[in-house]
A and B are shown apart, each in its own frame.
Chain A
Amino acid sequence: MIRVILPPNLRTLAQVDGEVGLELKGTLTQRSLLDAVEAKYPMLRGTLRDHVTQIRRPMVRFFACGEDLSHEPPDVPLPDAIATGAEPFMIIGAIAGG
């Protein structure tokens, strides 16, 4: 089970508590993971990536295994620890005041 942690505002929007679990086949990439998140929670479309360009919104970050994966190309395979569920894929709202 792939584990995804959403930021609090998006947990509220998606009406979920805690982690999101995904079952995915094939090579796990940032794109396939986000596609699966949006398929399960369509109200999140447009909140993580632009509707048309599919580019990550500037103040959204992707962390996993102690690394910032935000700038990784979307089709690069994610670490095995995420695919096995040993580590969560964390979607973060960038730190800012206000």
Chain B
Amino acid sequence: MNKVRVLVGTRKGAFILTSDGARKRWKVSGPHFAGWEIYHMKGSPVNPDRIYASQTSAWFGQIIQRSDDGGKTWSTPGSSPEELQSSDGMPKGESNKFIYDTSAETGKPITTHQWYDGTQHPWEFKRVWHLEPSLHDPDHVYAGVEDAAIFESKDGGKSWQELAGLRGSDTGPKWQPGAGGMCLHTILLDPKDPQRIYIAISAAGAFRTEDGGKTWKPINRGLHSQYIPDPNAEVGHCVHRIAMHPSRPSTLFMQKHWDVMRSDDAGGSWNEVSGNLPSDFGFPIDVHAHEPETIYVVPIKSDSEHYPPSGRLRVYRSRTGGNDWEPLTKGLPQRNCYVNVLRDAMSVDSLEPCGIYFGTTGGQVYASVNAGDQWKPIVRDLPAVLSVEAQTLP
């Protein structure tokens, strides 16, 4: 019988929730890395027991953790005794070393971006927002970081190299931070074309590479953002999240700062599909595991009021790929609820029926084992939830 493991990153540690395929009884393990912010954890599709975690702290900076036993034990990659010393006897410990590439050979040495006051500001590494393990190799993993850039590791997280063509693209100096920082928060790997990757940045927009990360182009045509001087600009859009069904990697769904959008040509153009949503502001968006036209969002009242409209926590589902939305409320609080659901805090399993999971800033993780029809908190009173990833295990 299948099992499900849900990886929950919070403001004060990581939690791992496990259940059998019935998904009725959940075991909670944690806190792992107590006291640290865990922005994201994700397992390798090739080896689900290989899990990468982004552990970060305003005090002590970035740490990358890795587990090879499904989250029972963790270590910083490359920290075994034989790996600790380089050939000249110096300590290595480089799993948290994210250095922007400014070499002329691998990318243009872009060193500044737009700052809040309109001046140019140097790129400064702050943290890893999102880890995306390769679909083919458990030692290969991508990291989306703040200030926005994409890095990759091909040695299981021991060392990291920037894919500098993204930051070195012509638009780099026009990127600017949103209120949450200038973060690269979404990385989507095309299962049909290993050379194609989509990423999204707040507040720059979405980008695509067709050559494995060497060169990138902005894919923001059709986005309309009133909060930037040119609402139809090539870059500057605050994209909150992009989702894709693996069977249709050229169809993308986007939750923008405002507006829910859809593209059917790999981001070449976007159309708004907000339809009858009570608010088209929100953070996460996800796709049903077995129905490529069934998508989920969590409407939030506004960009200044980060809580659900009318104090009612409702997931909205569209079975038509957008425009027609239905509220899903059974089991969710329908009064006095003022939590937020952050962009990386929703995930689906691949069981039948499809399971949907999301975490709130109030510390609840809700699950639906019937594609959203009914919900139940599988854990509550955790620290504020930053990220949720579901793994379907054999």
Determine if B36 and A9 form an interchain contact, defined as CB atoms under 8 angstroms apart.
yes
Binary interface encoding of chain B residues 52-91 relative to chain A, with 1 for a CB under 8 A from any of its CBs, else 0: 0000011111110000000000001001000010000011
Q: Which residue of B lies closest to A47 (CB)?
A: B60
Determine if B91 and A42 form an interchain contact, defined as CB atoms under 8 angstroms apart.
yes
A49 CB → nearest B CB, Å: 10
Q: Which residues of A contact B91 (CB under 8 A)?
A: 38-39, 42, 45
B24 proximal to A (CB < 8 A): no
- Give the most central of A44, A48, A94: most B CB within 10 Å: A44
Determine if A45 and B93 form an interchain contact, defined as CB atoms under 8 angstroms apart.
yes
A71 proximal to B (CB < 8 A): no
Q: Which residues of B contact A44 (CB under 8 A)?
A: 93
Q: Which residues of B contact A59 (CB under 8 A)?
A: 58-59
Determine if B60 and A38 form an interchain contact, defined as CB atoms under 8 angstroms apart.
no
Tell me which of B94-102, B247-255, B354-362 binds A.
B94-102
Q: Which residues of B contact A47 (CB under 8 A)?
A: 60-61, 63, 96
B338 CB → nearest A CB, Å: 20
Determine if B59 and A51 form an interchain contact, defined as CB atoms under 8 angstroms apart.
no
Determine if B92 and A42 form an interchain contact, defined as CB atoms under 8 angstroms apart.
yes
Determine if B60 and A96 form an interchain contact, defined as CB atoms under 8 angstroms apart.
no
B34 proximal to A (CB < 8 A): yes
> Given A45-B91, A45-B93, A57–B33 Cβ distance below 8 Å?
no
Count of chain B residues near A, Cβ 8 A: 24
Binary interface encoding of chain A residues 40-73 relative to chain B, with 1 for a CB under 8 A from any of its CBs, else 0: 0011111110011000010110000000000000
Determine if B59 and A42 form an interchain contact, defined as CB atoms under 8 angstroms apart.
no
Determine if B60 and A57 form an interchain contact, defined as CB atoms under 8 angstroms apart.
yes
> Given A38-B91, A39-B91, A94–B79 Cβ distance below 8 Å?
no
A98 to B34, CA, bound (A): 13
Q: Which residues of A contact B99 (CB under 8 A)?
A: 51-52
| Among candidates B59, B92, B96, residue contacting A94 with C-beta atoms closer than 8 Å | B59
Binary interface encoding of chain A residues 65-85 relative to chain B, with 1 for a CB under 8 A from any of its CBs, else 0: 000000000000000000000
B309 proximal to A (CB < 8 A): no
B246 proximal to A (CB < 8 A): no
- Taking CB atoms and an 8 Å cut-off, the chain B residues in 79-133 that contact chain A are 79, 84, 90-97, 99
Binary interface encoding of chain B residues 3-25 relative to chain A, with 1 for a CB under 8 A from any of its CBs, else 0: 00000000100000000000000
Q: Which residue of A lies closest to B55 (CB)?
A: A13
| Among candidates A7, A39, A57, residue contacting B61 with C-beta atoms closer than 8 Å | A57
A47 CB → nearest B CB, Å: 4
Q: Which residues of B contact A39 (CB under 8 A)?
A: 90-91
Q: Which residues of A contact B61 (CB under 8 A)?
A: 46-47, 57
> Given A42-B79, A52-B99, A9–B59 Cβ distance below 8 Å?
yes
A9 CB → nearest B CB, Å: 5
Q: Which residue of B lies closest to A59 (CB)?
A: B59
Q: Which residue of A lies closest to B78 (CB)?
A: A42
List the 4 closest A-B pairs by CB distance, nearest first: A42-B93, A42-B91, A47-B60, A45-B93
With A44-B93, A45-B96, A96-B58 known, 20 other A-B pairs at CB within 8 A are A7-B59, A13-B60, A38-B93, A42-B79, A45-B91, A45-B97, A46-B61, A46-B93, A46-B96, A46-B97, A47-B61, A47-B63, A47-B96, A48-B60, A57-B60, A93-B60, A94-B59, A96-B59, A98-B11, A98-B58
A-B contact pairs, 26 of them (CB 8 A): A9-B57, A9-B59, A12-B33, A12-B34, A12-B35, A13-B76, A42-B84, A43-B63, A43-B95, A44-B93, A45-B93, A45-B94, A46-B93, A46-B96, A46-B97, A51-B96, A51-B97, A52-B99, A57-B59, A57-B60, A59-B58, A60-B59, A93-B60, A94-B59, A96-B58, A98-B11
Interface residues of B (CB under 8 A from A): 11, 33-36, 57-63, 76, 79, 84, 90-97, 99
